[in-house]
């Protein structure tokens, strides 16, 4: 493939059976997922939370960082980090998931960051609510969208850009949307958007713009690359597609027992094997988590921890008591929210977005 082909046009879809390429591998080595045993932590420690960076992590100096708020407002604002940190601060525990999570499990595989199912994490984000700032700036009555621009710069599918995303005004005004400078009680890490990022609880990760430098209020819908071309549910290359927005339901299991290094298949001893993990949905309240220990033929209800009013945007724990009998088996887990259940068969789309296909864990049960 020539550079011109690489750098222009739409994402490629892999040929049937085509292995992961070196370009996909380079993305997988840069970015990283949550090792699934780290589902054990209520709040994901630094370095175990997933990271997806389109371009490079910018070099940022908090002392001189400025956020400009402009566009269709009466009083444009320019704020330093100090100005923001003098405002009312809140800390919110929020589940984040990459919209491309599950992409590499689609067949045929859309060629991009090749996530399997580990592009998640839950952190404690500290910042100040966005809505009062927008109100202080004085929103135009014609405002419909708010565009958020980061300092990360590069070329994607032929388009040179600073990473930027538009958010409908009603979403931007939700009280839980934050301008964030802290993570897990510490300053933001470079790869998570230091010194300033957006957090939009309930939405896939692409909305949570990192290295935030500019907020622009728009009277027309935002038409930048990351909304108009990327992050859309397309069935083919001619389909404009629907935009990706809120996180679909998903449950993940911390694989039980011990792994094989290369295959990540699991071994457990026969008898009582506690199963546990996390579940979430950004689009509707979770209602159930179910587990199958026979490859999906039968399902049993797992114990889903009650929703915690202190952490409405965090994941929720689940547990299930499994009595393992010797032999090979396949464990599955799936979440249900008020709008539906995770699919057992993948719903394909051309960018590999919002694929919440159920997890499958291969286990060999050894004699007790």
Residue with smaller CB distance to its own copies, 236 or 261: 261
Facing residues of 220 across strands? none
Note whether 328 binds its own copies by CB under 8 A. yes
Among 32-40, 197-205, 294-302, 351-359, the segment contacting its own copies (CB under 8 A): 32-40
**Cα gap 28→358, rounded to integer Å:** 21
Place of tokens 């380079």: 26
**Cα gap 320→272, rounded to integer Å:** 10
**Cα gap 277→3, rounded to integer Å:** 43
CB 21 within 8 A of CB 110: no
Q: Around Cβ 348, how many Cβ atoms within 10 Å?
A: 14
CB 249 within 8 A of CB 337: yes
Residue of 13, 31, 198, 208 interacting with its own copies (CB under 8 A): 31
Note whether 326 binds its own copies by CB under 8 A. no
> Considering CB under 8 A, how many residues would be counted as binding its own copies?
67
Residue with smaller CB distance to its own copies, 254 or 284: 254
Note whether 310 binds its own copies by CB under 8 A. no
In eight-state DSSP terms, residue 130 is H
Among 169-177, 255-263, 291-299, 331-339, the segment contacting its own copies (CB under 8 A): 255-263
Residue with smaller CB distance to its own copies, 70 or 187: 187
Q: How far is the CB of 274 from its own copies (least distance, A)?
A: 12
Among 12-20, 66-74, 209-217, 352-360, the segment contacting its own copies (CB under 8 A): 12-20
Q: How far is the CB of 288 from its own copies (least distance, A)?
A: 27
Residue of 57, 84, 139, 252 interacting with its own copies (CB under 8 A): 57
Task: Check whether the bond before 108 is cis (ω within 30° of 0).
Answer: yes
Note whether 49 binds its own copies by CB under 8 A. yes
Facing residues of 278 across strands? 252, 317
Residues from 75 through 104 that contact its own copies (CB under 8 A)? 104
Cα–Cα distances in angstroms (integers) from residue 20 to residues 8, 26, 97, 153, in the given order: 20, 10, 22, 26
Residue of 42, 83, 136, 156 interacting with its own copies (CB under 8 A): 156
Given strand 271-280, what is the order of strands in its sheet? Answer: 250-253, 271-280, 316-324, 303-304
Among 55-63, 140-148, 200-208, 211-219, the segment contacting its own copies (CB under 8 A): 55-63
In eight-state DSSP terms, residue 18 is P
Residue of 21, 70, 80, 243 interacting with its own copies (CB under 8 A): 21
Burial class (CB in 10 A: 0-12, 13-18, 19+), 274: exposed
Place of tokens 């984000």: 125
Structure-block tokens of residue 186: 């510490």
Note whether 206 binds its own copies by CB under 8 A. no
Among 44-52, 140-148, 202-210, 303-311, the segment contacting its own copies (CB under 8 A): 44-52
- The residues of the shown chain that bind its own copies, judged by CB under 8 A, are 3, 6-7, 11, 18-33, 35, 37-38, 40-41, 45-49, 51, 53-57, 59, 104, 111-112, 114-116, 118, 153-157, 160, 189-192, 255, 258-265, 267, 328, 362, 364
């Amino acid at each position: 493939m020539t550079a011109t082909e690489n750098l222009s046009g739409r994402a490629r879809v892999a040929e049937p059976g085509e292995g992961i390429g070196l370009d996909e591998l380079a993305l997988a080595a840069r970015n990283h997922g949550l090792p699934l045993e780290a589902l054990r932590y209520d709040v994901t420690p630094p370095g175990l939370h997933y990271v997806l960076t389109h371009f490079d992590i910018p070099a940022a100096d908090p002392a001189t960082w400025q956020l400009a708020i402009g566009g269709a407002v009466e009083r444009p604002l320019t704020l330093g980090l100090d100005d923001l940190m003098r405002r009312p601060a809140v800390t919110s525990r929020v589940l984040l998931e990459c919209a491309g999570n599950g992409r590499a499990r689609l067949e045929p595989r859309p060629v991009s960051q090749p996530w399997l199912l580990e592009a998640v994490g839950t952190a404690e984000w500290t910042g100040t609510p966005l809505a009062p700032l927008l109100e202080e700036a004085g929103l135009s009555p014609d405002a419909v969208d708010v565009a958020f621009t980061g300092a990360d710069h590069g070329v994607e599918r032929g388009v040179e850009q600073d990473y930027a995303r538009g958010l409908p005004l009603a979403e931007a005004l939700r009280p839980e949307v934050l301008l964030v400078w802290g993570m897990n009680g510490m300053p933001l890490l470079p790869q998570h958007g230091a010194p300033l990022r957006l957090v939009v609880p309930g939405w896939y990760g692409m909305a949570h713009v990192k290295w935030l430098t500019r907020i622009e209020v728009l009277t027309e819908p935002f038409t930048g690359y990351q909304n108009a071309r990327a992050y859309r549910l397309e069935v083919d290359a001619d389909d404009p597609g629907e935009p990706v927005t809120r996180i679909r339901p998903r449950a993940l299991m911390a694989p039980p027992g011990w792994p094989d290094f290369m295959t990540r298949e699991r071994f457990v001893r026969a008898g009582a094997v506690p199963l546990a993990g996390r579940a979430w949905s950004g689009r509707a309240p979770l209602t159930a988590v179910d587990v199958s220990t026979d490859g999906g033929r039968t399902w049993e209800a797992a114990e889903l921890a009650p929703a915690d009013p202190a952490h409405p945007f965090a994941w929720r724990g689940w547990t299930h008591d499994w009595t393992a009998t010797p032999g090979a088996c396949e464990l599955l887990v799936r979440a249900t929210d008020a709008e539906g259940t995770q699919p057992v068969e993948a719903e394909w789309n051309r960018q590999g977005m919002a694929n919440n296909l159920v997890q499958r864990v291969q286990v060999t049960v050894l004699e007790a």
